[in-house]
Amino acid sequence: MTSFIHELNGVFHAVCPLDCPDQCGLLLHKEDGKIVKVEGDPQHPVTKGHICNKVRNMSERIYDGNRLKYPLKRIGSKGEGKFTRISWEEALSTITSCWKELIEIDGPESILPYSFYGNMGRLSAEGMDRRFWNLLGASRLDRTICSSAGSVGYQYTMGGSLGIDPEDTIHSKLFIFWGINAASTNMHQIALAQKARKQNGAKWIVIDVHKNQTGRMADWFIPILPGTDSALVLGLMHILFAENMVDQEFLQKYTVGYEELRKHVIQYTPAKVSEFTGVPVSDIYKLARMYGQTSPSFIRIGNGPQHHDNGGMFVRTVACLPALTGQWLVKGGGAIKGNSAYLAPNTESLQRSSLLKNRHTRVINMNLLGEALLTLDPPVKSLYVYGSNPALVTPSSNKVRKGLEREDLFVVVHDLFLTETAKYADIVLPATSSFENTDLYTSYWHHYIQIQQPVIAPYGESKSNVDVFRLFAKEMGFGDEAAFAETEAEMIAGALNNPRNPYLEDINYSFLVEQRYVKAKVKQLFPGTLPTPSGKIELYSEKMKQDGYPPLPTYIPLVNHGDHYFQFVPGPNHNFLNSTFSNIQKHVELEKELRLHMNRVDALAAGIEDGDMVRVWNSHGECEIKVAVGDNVLPGVVVTQGIWADEAAWSHEGLNSKNFLINSLTPDRIADMGGGATFFSGRVNVEKILTS
Ligand SMILES: Nc1nc2c(c(=O)[nH]1)N[C@H]1C(S)=C(S)[C@@H](COP(=O)(O)OP(=O)(O)OC[C@H]3O[C@@H](n4cnc5c(=O)[nH]c(N)nc54)[C@H](O)[C@@H]3O)O[C@H]1N2
Ligand SMILES: Nc1nc2c(c(=O)[nH]1)N[C@H]1C(S)=C(S)[C@@H](COP(=O)(O)OP(=O)(O)OC[C@H]3O[C@@H](n4cnc5c(=O)[nH]c(N)nc54)[C@H](O)[C@@H]3O)O[C@H]1N2
Ligand code: SF4
Ligand SMILES: [Mo]
**Spelled out in words, what is the top-level CATH class assigned to the domain 72-146+343-519?**
alpha beta
- CB 668 less than 6 A from any atom of ligand 2: no
Helix/strand/coil percentages in the chain, nearest 5: 35, 20, 45
Assess whether pLDDT exceeds 80 at residue 658. no
- CB 22 less than 6 A from any atom of ligand 3: yes
Distances (CA, A) of 229 to 82, 218, 309, 382, 566: 47, 18, 12, 41, 18
Residues 9-23 have a mean pLDDT of: 97
Atom of ligand 2 nearest to the CA of 663: 1
Assess whether pLDDT exceeds 60 at residue 650. no
Compute the distance between CA of residue 299 and CA of residue 429 in angstroms, rounded to an integer: 43
Distances (CA, A) of 597 to 12, 130, 582, 631, 650: 42, 41, 20, 9, 20
- CB 118 less than 6 A from any atom of ligand 2: yes
For the segment 28-67, what is each residue's pLDDT rounded down to a tens digit? 999 999 999 999 999 999 999 999 999 999 999 999 999 9
- CB 54 less than 6 A from any atom of ligand 3: yes
Q: Minimum mean pLDDT among 185-189, 402-406, 477-481: which range? A: 477-481
Instruction: Specify the 3-state DSSP secondary structure of 638.
Output: strand
Determine the pLDDT at residue 660.
85
For the segment 485-514, what is each residue's pLDDT rounded down to a tens digit? 999 999 999 999 999 999 999 999 999 999
**Cβ atoms of residues 284 and 236 within 8 Å:** yes
Mean pLDDT, the chain, rounded, equals 96
Atom of ligand 2 nearest to the CA of 116: 19
Quote the ligand 4 centre to 579 CA distance (angstroms): 11
pTM comes to 0.97
**If pLDDT is split at 50, 70 and 90, which confidence band does 228 have?**
very high
**Spelled out in words, what is the top-level CATH class assigned to the domain 2-62?**
alpha beta
Distances (CA, A) of 611 to 49, 212, 233, 497, 628: 38, 18, 37, 56, 6
| Nearest alpha carbon, ligand 1 atom 22 | 304
Quote the ligand 4 centre to 265 CA distance (angstroms): 32
Question: How big is the chain by its Cα radius of gyration, in Å?
Answer: 25
Compute the distance between CA of residue 575 and CA of residue 392 in angstroms, rounded to an integer: 16
Compute the distance between CA of residue 270 and CA of residue 653 in angstroms, rounded to an integer: 48
Determine the pLDDT at residue 656.
46
Determine the pLDDT at residue 692.
58
Ligand 2 pocket mutation pick from 128, 389, 436, 464 by most atoms within 8 angstroms of CB: 389
Kindly identify the ligand whose nearest atom is closest to the C-alpha of 214.
1
Kindly identify the ligand whose nearest atom is closest to the C-alpha of 390.
2
Instruction: Specify the 3-state DSSP secondary structure of 527.
Output: coil
- CB 431 less than 6 A from any atom of ligand 2: yes
Compute the distance between CA of residue 128 and CA of residue 134 in angstroms, rounded to an integer: 10
Quote the ligand 1 centre to 182 CA distance (angstroms): 8
- CB 419 less than 6 A from any atom of ligand 2: yes
- CB 183 less than 6 A from any atom of ligand 3: no
**Cβ atoms of residues 596 and 686 within 8 Å:** yes
What's the first-to-final CA gap in the chain, in angstroms?
A: 64
Instruction: Specify the 3-state DSSP secondary structure of 203.
Output: strand
- CB 666 less than 6 A from any atom of ligand 2: yes
Residues 475-480 have a mean pLDDT of: 91
- CB 437 less than 6 A from any atom of ligand 2: no
In CATH, the architecture of 164-337+525-546 is: 3-Layer(aba) Sandwich (3.40)
Contacts of 67 (CB under 8 A, 6+ apart): 61, 416, 417, 430, 459, 460
Give me the percent of the chain exceeding a pLDDT of 90: 93
472-508 b/e (C-beta count within 10 Å ≥ 16 → b): bbebbebeeebebebebbebbbbbbbbeebebbeebe
Q: List, as ranges, residues with CB under 5 A of the ion ligand 4.
A: 146
Helix axes 229-242, 311-318, angle to 10 degrees: 20
Hey, which CATH number is domain 566-688, 3.30.565.10, 3.40.309.10, 3.20.20.10, 2.40.40.20? 2.40.40.20
For the segment 410-435, what is each residue's pLDDT rounded down to a tens digit? 999 999 999 999 999 999 999 999 99
Domain ranges for the chain, please list them.
2-62, 72-146+343-519, 164-337+525-546, 566-688
Distances (CA, A) of 622 to 60, 61, 424, 619, 662: 32, 30, 21, 8, 8
Q: How many CA atoms lie within 13 A of 450 on its CB side?
A: 26
- CB 580 less than 6 A from any atom of ligand 2: yes
Quote the ligand 1 centre to 302 CA distance (angstroms): 6
